[in-house]
Amino acid sequence: MTDQQREATLYRMVMKNHLCPFGLKSLDLLKREGFQVDDHWLTTRDETDAFKQKHDVETTPQTFIDGQRIGGYDDLRRYFGKPVKDPDAVTYQPVIAVFATAALMALGFSWAALGTVFTVRALEWFVAISMCVLAILKLRDLESFSNMFLGYDLLAQRWVRYAFLYPFGEALAGILMIAGALLWLAIPLALVIGSIGAVSVFKAVYIDKRELKCACVGGDSNVPLGFISLTENLMMVGMAIWMLVKAI
């Protein structure tokens, strides 16, 4: 029997009100690896519990290859030599996603509005859109964001309510800068919150040498506080100064 003809047995939950995503991922992975899959559905809670008790496992799905139990989805990935995501691992993926998407959106706006891609306005839109997207991520869970933000922001540590107001200020400044409206409000707002943020991050990371997580993409991220966080704040400061120069 060739590798492409190997067989695997998969037990996964497929219930009326619950379809296990890891079961689907296991099924897809096995097929992509060339396995013929004997796909067993666990359609009730009692059936699932009985399966767990029989095989002395705590979770499903469970995959068996050549009569040997491989385990759940992560175990299956390890079996095939594929990387397994560590939920506690440091990552810059959220920040890369935000900035890359904001950049493409800005270029799209520039093309639609000005008929060309690489313009000064596109750069302005990039910064403003980034501010808005980052604000949205913070506003998803204000409580979680505030808990992480209070760990390093100097103003928030003195006035806790600022931790809850910050995302709204960031979003408002970004929206006004996209529109080019009420710049008398947007410019000082971005300048103040950006400056305070930059000083706070610089002190926490480069002076106090603290290892913290950044609240820039929300309170549930594993993005480390450091250069990226400092860049976010300096972008706001730079944008505010640029808009001020243009307005003079």
- The full DSSP string for 39-55 is EEEE-SHHHHHHHHHHH
Strands 36-42 and 62-65: unpaired
Q: What is the pLDDT of residues 163-212, one digit of tens each?
A: 999 999 999 999 999 998 999 999 999 999 999 999 999 999 999 999 88
Block mean pLDDT (10 aa), the chain, length 248: 74 94 96 95 95 94 94 95 86 91 96 93 95 95 94 95 96 94 93 95 93 87 86 92 87
CATH architecture of 3-79: 3-Layer(aba) Sandwich (3.40)
User: Other CB atoms closer than 10 Å to residue 220's CB: what's the count?
Assistant: 14
Domain chopping of the chain, boundaries: 3-79, 93-247
Give pLDDT, residue 4.
53
- Check: CB of residue 167 under 8 Å from CB of residue 135: yes
Model pTM score: 0.83
Nearest to 165 by CA among 139, 144, 185, 187: 139
pLDDT reported for residue 44:
94
Q: What is the 3-state secondary structure (H, E, C) of 14-30?
A: ECCCCECHHHHHHHHHH
Q: Are 150 and 160 in contact (CB under 8 A)?
A: yes
For 109, residues 6+ apart whose C-beta sits below 8 A from its C-beta are 121, 122, 125
Q: Is the dihedral of CA 200, 203, 206, 208 positive or negative?
A: negative
Rounded to a whole number of angstroms, the distance between the first and last alpha carbons of the chain is: 77
Query: Which pLDDT does position 246 carry in this prediction?
Result: 85
- Residue 40, number of CB atoms within 10 A of its CB: 16
Burial 5-31 (b: 16+ CB within 10 A, else e): eeebbbbbbeeeeeebebbebbbebbe
Cβ neighbour number for residue 135 with a 10 Å cutoff: 19
Q: Which amino acid is residue 54, in one-letter code?
A: K
